[in-house]
């Protein structure tokens, strides 16, 4: 009897994913969400490319090249509120260059503003809400087969002139089904060149209900964990990529003490030596846990303290006390982990008096702290119930939602006062940096910390110019036979001519980039050139 062979058809699409520009001042890292999405849909048989406009310059000429070379059937972009307008604009340019492509948007902003996004942007075909891996995969399969997508949970779209929102998709119960993020699709060398850290997550979900955050709505209140072994496997892999620091960016890494301890113990058991940081709540740390984290390489913990006024903390449902903040910082100091505290000015009930209390508390708590300004993002309770909280929205210009300037008002203190406070605080940091640079130029000996700070800042601006001006790509190189030293000298001179940065400064930065495997020297077609590694 002949054997029947059953063939399962794997339908493949070319999928282009876009990471829109994001301010360098925010120290961007490789786009974790896009890399996770790309890995999952690639595992399902689709061809994927990520265009990262943080570390590549954006242009319409580049669009034409990509469309001609890759021929994407689906073009998707992510975006947070502060860069959503750029994401929409870039997607429109792609749609004009490749009108037959299906366009999709995802991310926290469009998840909670889907109606307006589709209503105001005719070039956006679909919105994927919430966790995207399974939803986007089902949408791709439906588009490829030409089948009905009206039953796909988690999408919004137009049909017969009407905007429809399918039911929400349940959160992925077991996130261990997800592959490692597709970091191979990202130019990690460029992030390394900037000195930015690399991110990873060990869980999804946040059990808390802070009114200024969409975290629990976006990824659920139930915390879902990656297995400890998988977490440390990924951590070990990242430790070998040449980044100075690994950031664990879970909403709350320390939510489960025993699991956190297990991760730290496994890092130590494998003898992995690499600095890392994480986010924590002041009510989730203990002496035992912090010492374990320190032994495993943790160098800093960031705490969202938010306010120095207990009544405001209660209003925003932070569910912490000022005393607990002091205890957590003291425990970090004892363990040798640098605590970083962040505050939000302009929360409901904010007044001149509460601002003063927060500023005094911040100074007394730890020298490492910073201020942001309330940005009532779509989906946050503080935006949805703004009248109840006494909040007046000043603008819906999403470009202004960078948490560095006021977009809302409490009515108890002028938003201009809050802007001035944050500007003065950030200006003080800038003035200190400028003073250190001037002292160095005058021949004054600086502390090791100030020397490192000046080097990092100088390197940042040189690398930014190299990337955005495409200077590595445009460098003609030296004739074959030139030594590595001669090539680096010539390249440094080339960069100095193009950017105006001092050549002696550039030379040291270039040598450092080569040493960190961000740049390399190669021989190609009789020419010795510089390349991104």
Percent with pLDDT over 90 in the chain: 79
DSSP 9: -
Instruction: Say if residues 154 and 128 touch (Cβ distance below 8 Å).
Output: yes
Identify the pLDDT of residue 255: 87
Helix (H, G, I), strand (E, B) or coil at 403: coil
Nearest to 177 by CA among 267, 44, 49: 44
Measured CA to CA, the distance from residue 98 to residue 176 in angstroms comes to 36
Residues 98 and 201 in one domain: no
Helix (H, G, I), strand (E, B) or coil at 483: coil
> 208 is written with which tokens?
């808390």
Lowest mean pLDDT, pick from 65-69, 344-348, 453-457, 518-522? 453-457
Partners of 158 in beta bridges: 163
> 353 is written with which tokens?
């008096």
Residues 522 and 378 in one domain: no
Residues 241 and 337 in one domain: yes
264 vs 221, which has greater pLDDT? 264
Quickly state the pLDDT bin for 187 (edges 50, 70, 90).
very high
Quick check: 3 pLDDT over 60? Answer: no
Residues 382 and 458 in one domain: no
> What's the average model confidence in pLDDT over 271-291?
97
Each residue's pLDDT tens digit, 391-412: 999 999 999 999 999 999 999 9
Residues 161 and 213 in one domain: no
Measured CA to CA, the distance from residue 226 to residue 229 in angstroms comes to 8
Quick check: 7 pLDDT over 50? Answer: no
Identify the pLDDT of residue 480: 74
Residues 159 and 64 in one domain: yes
Residues 279 and 401 in one domain: yes
Residue 74: which domain range?
A: 14-165
Each residue's pLDDT tens digit, 66-113: 999 999 999 999 989 999 999 999 999 999 999 999 999 999 999 999
User: What integer best gives the mean pLDDT of the chain?
Assistant: 93
Please count the structural domains in the chain: 3
453 vs 346, which has greater pLDDT? 346
Each residue's pLDDT tens digit, 192-216: 998 889 999 999 999 999 999 998 8
Whether 94 is covered by a domain: the verdict is yes
Quickly state the pLDDT bin for 525 (edges 50, 70, 90).
confident
Instruction: Say if residues 298 and 332 touch (Cβ distance below 8 Å).
Output: no
Residues 353 and 215 in one domain: yes
Whether 296 is covered by a domain: the verdict is yes
Quickly state the pLDDT bin for 293 (edges 50, 70, 90).
very high
Residues 303 and 353 in one domain: yes
Identify the pLDDT of residue 5: 39
Measured CA to CA, the distance from residue 472 to residue 505 in angstroms comes to 17
CATH number at residue 460: 1.10.10
Partners of 524 in beta bridges: 527
Quick check: 482 pLDDT over 90? Answer: no
Q: Which of 393, 413, 437 is the last residue of a domain?
A: 437
Unique residue bearing structure tokens 């299906």: 102
> 16 is written with which tokens?
């282009």
Identify the pLDDT of residue 474: 93
Whether 182 is covered by a domain: the verdict is no
Whether 191 is covered by a domain: the verdict is no
Lowest mean pLDDT, pick from 246-255, 270-279, 323-332? 246-255
Whether 6 is covered by a domain: the verdict is no
Residues 56 and 152 in one domain: yes
Residues 142 and 210 in one domain: no
Unique residue bearing structure tokens 């990824």: 219
Measured CA to CA, the distance from residue 110 to residue 89 in angstroms comes to 14
Most trustworthy range by pLDDT among 19-23, 415-419, 450-454, 457-461: 415-419
Measured CA to CA, the distance from residue 111 to residue 169 in angstroms comes to 12
pTM of the model: 0.92
Residues 204 and 110 in one domain: no
Measured CA to CA, the distance from residue 390 to residue 385 in angstroms comes to 9
Measured CA to CA, the distance from residue 12 to residue 48 in angstroms comes to 10
CATH number at residue 53: 3.40.50.280
Lowest mean pLDDT, pick from 240-249, 333-342, 449-458? 449-458
Whether 28 is covered by a domain: the verdict is yes
CA atoms within 13 A on the CB side of 399: 6
Q: Which of 112, 141, 165 is the last residue of a domain?
A: 165
Instruction: Say if residues 47 and 14 touch (Cβ distance below 8 Å).
Output: yes
| CA 431 to chain CA mean position, Å | 27
Q: Which of 437, 464, 498 is the last residue of a domain?
A: 437
CATH number at residue 394: 3.20.20.70
Question: Helix H segments across 71-107?
Answer: 84-97
Whether 458 is covered by a domain: the verdict is yes
> What's the average model confidence in pLDDT over 231-235?
98
Measured CA to CA, the distance from residue 33 to residue 10 in angstroms comes to 25
Whether 184 is covered by a domain: the verdict is no
Identify the pLDDT of residue 11: 56
> 446 is written with which tokens?
């600086």
Measured CA to CA, the distance from residue 415 to residue 394 in angstroms comes to 9
CA atoms within 13 A on the CB side of 239: 18
């Amino acid at each position: 009897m002949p054997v029947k062979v059953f063939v399962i058809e794997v339908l493949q699409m070319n999928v282009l994913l876009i990471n829109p520009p994001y301010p360098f001042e925010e120290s961007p890292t490789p786009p974790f969400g896009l890399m996770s999405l790309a890995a999952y849909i690639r595992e399902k048989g689709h061809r994927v490319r990520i265009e990262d406009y943080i570390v590549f310059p954006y242009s319409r000429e580049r669009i034409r090249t990509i469309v001609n070379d890759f021929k994407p059937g689906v073009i998707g972009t992510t975006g947070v509120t502060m860069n959503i307008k750029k994401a929409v604009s870039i997607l429109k340019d792609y749609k004009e260059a490749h009108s037959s492509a299906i366009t999709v948007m995802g991310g926290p902003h469009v998840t909670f503003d889907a109606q307006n996004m589709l209503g105001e942007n005719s070039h956006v075909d679909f919105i994927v809400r919430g966790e995207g891996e399974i939803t986007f995969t089902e949408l791709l399969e439906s588009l490829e087969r030409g089948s009905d997508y009206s039953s796909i949970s988690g999408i919004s779209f137009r049909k017969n002139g009407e905007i429809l929102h399918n039911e929400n998709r349940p959160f992925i119960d077991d996130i261990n089904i997800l592959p490692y993020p597709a970091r191979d699709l990202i130019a990690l060398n460029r992030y390394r060149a900037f000195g930015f850290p690399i991110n990873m997550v060990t869980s999804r979900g946040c059990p808390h209900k802070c009114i200024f955050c969409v975290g629990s709505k976006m990824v659920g209140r139930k915390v879902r964990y990656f297995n400890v072994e998988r977490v440390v496997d990924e951590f070990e892999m990242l430790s070998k990529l040449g980044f100075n620091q690994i950031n664990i960016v879970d909403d709350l890494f320390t939510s489960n003490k025993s699991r956190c301890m297990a991760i730290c113990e496994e890092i130590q058991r494998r003898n992995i030596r690499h600095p890392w940081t994480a986010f924590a709540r002041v009510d989730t740390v203990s002496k035992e846990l912090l010492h374990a984290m320190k032994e495993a390489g943790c160098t800093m913990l960031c705490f969202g303290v938010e306010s120095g006024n207990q009544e405001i903390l209660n209003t925003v449902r932070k569910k912490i006390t000022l005393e607990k903040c002091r205890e957590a910082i003291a425990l970090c100091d004892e363990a040798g982990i640098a605590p970083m505290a962040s505050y939000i000015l302009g929360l409901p009930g904010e007044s001149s008096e509460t601002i003063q209390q927060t500023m005094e508390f911040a100074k007394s708590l730890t020298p490492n702290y910073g201020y942001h300004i309330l940005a009532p993002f779509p989906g946050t309770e503080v935006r949805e119930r703004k009248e109840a909280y006494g909040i007046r929205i000043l603008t819906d210009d999403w470009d202004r939602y960078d948490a560095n300037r006021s977009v809302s008002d409490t009515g108890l203190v002028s938003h201009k006062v809050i802007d001035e406070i944050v500007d003065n605080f950030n200006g003080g940091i800038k003035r200190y940096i400028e003073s250190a640079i001037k002292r160095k130029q005058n021949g004054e000996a600086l502390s090791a910390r100030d020397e490192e700070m000046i080097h990092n800042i100088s390197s940042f601006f040189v690398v930014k110019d190299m990337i955005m001006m495409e200077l590595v790509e445009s460098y003609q190189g030296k004739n074959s036979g030139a030594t590595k030293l001669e090539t680096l000298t010539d390249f440094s001179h080339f960069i100095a001519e193009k950017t105006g940065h001092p050549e002696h400064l550039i030379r040291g930065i270039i040598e450092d980039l080569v040493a960190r495997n961000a740049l390399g020297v190669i021989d190609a077609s009789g020419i010795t050139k510089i390349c991104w590694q």
